[in-house]
Homo-oligomer: A and B are copies of this chain.
Amino acid sequence: MDQALPENIAVIGPGLIGGSLLLALRKRLPKTNLRTWVRRSEAVNELQKIDPAIVASTNLKTVASGAGLIVLCTPVATMPLIAKQLAMLPLEPGCIITDAGSVKSPVVTALESIFSKTGTSFIGSHPMAGSERSGISAARADLFEGSSCILTPTLFTSDKALETARKFWSLLGCRLLEMQPEEHDRKIARISHLPHLAATVVALTALRGDKSAAECAGNGFRDVTRIASGDPELWTGIISQNRAEIISALQEAHEINGNLLAIISSGDDSALLRLLQEAQSLRDGTHAA
């Protein structure tokens, strides 16, 4: 499997995801040349300390040149900008480009168009791995192990791009799923973006009026609100890129919440029990249980 992946792999943006990719690749493909583009020059030194064999640079050309696989790990909102800069460089012929963004439809549409005449091939990826922490300091070599990774091939995706993406994410320990970008965005709005907003609402409701309630918090509060500690700028970008599906999911949650409020207010405990049972059964049916 090692030989099937390119000898030179570039990671654009070594934050939590990109940094974890570099650590995981170093461990699993010790002979592969790893390069990474960083926005800030100070990050070059940080990367050198982590692994001096990784070529870290603020120069996109240095990093992308000769790479057979480029993985974009910047925030979704900035991906088209980075992609345009990449598309102007002399990229390796047949280079496969993928990403790790949390929204697929607008990213895939934009990047397929941007890379269409560069002799490269793009495929969207979304590893369902993360943390409320961000940046290279939170990176872990095992971040992707056991996670789902969703690939979103379209009519324009080359067989080679799909095959390379499958090998790449499998190597990192991901379970693969494949679906259209629109299906991805609809499901992820409900299974990832909505939970983030729910965590936000719980943190606000629990603590806005009386911060001292925090000292009573147990594991339930800790886990439900964990992702509300995630980077607000990153999440504003994600939400703005998947706005329509998130509105739909949030409206549905708002209705169910209203329904729950009506049931609890009316004292109909058997209806409450049925709702809690339904949620328990749905939740226990997920592999996440």
List the interface of chain A (C-beta within 8 A of B).
128-131, 147-148, 150, 177, 184, 187-188, 190-192, 194-230, 232-233, 235-236, 239-240, 243, 246-247, 249-254, 256-258, 260-261, 264-265, 267, 269, 272-273, 275-280, 282-289
Contact = CB atoms under 8 A, between A and B. Distances in A.
Count this chain's copies in the assembly: 2
12 contacts: A128-B217, A129-B219, A130-B219, A148-B218, A192-B216, A195-B220, A200-B275, A201-B253, A206-B249, A215-B286, A250-B260, A254-B258
A191 B229 contact: no
Nearest to A289: B229
Contacts of A191: 206, 213-214, 216-218, 221
Contact of A227 (B211, B216, B220): B220
Nearest to A127: B218
Closest 3 CB pairs of A and B: A128-B218, A232-B276, A222-B288
A197 to B, nearest CB: 6
Nearest to A126: B216
Contacts of A217: 128, 148, 191-192, 286-288
Main secondary structure of the interface of A (DSSP, over half): helix
A199 B280 CA distance: 10
B261 A205 contact: no
A247 B201 CA distance: 15
A163 to B, nearest CB: 22
B218 A206 contact: no
Nearest to A188: B216
B192 A218 contact: yes
A223 B224 contact: yes
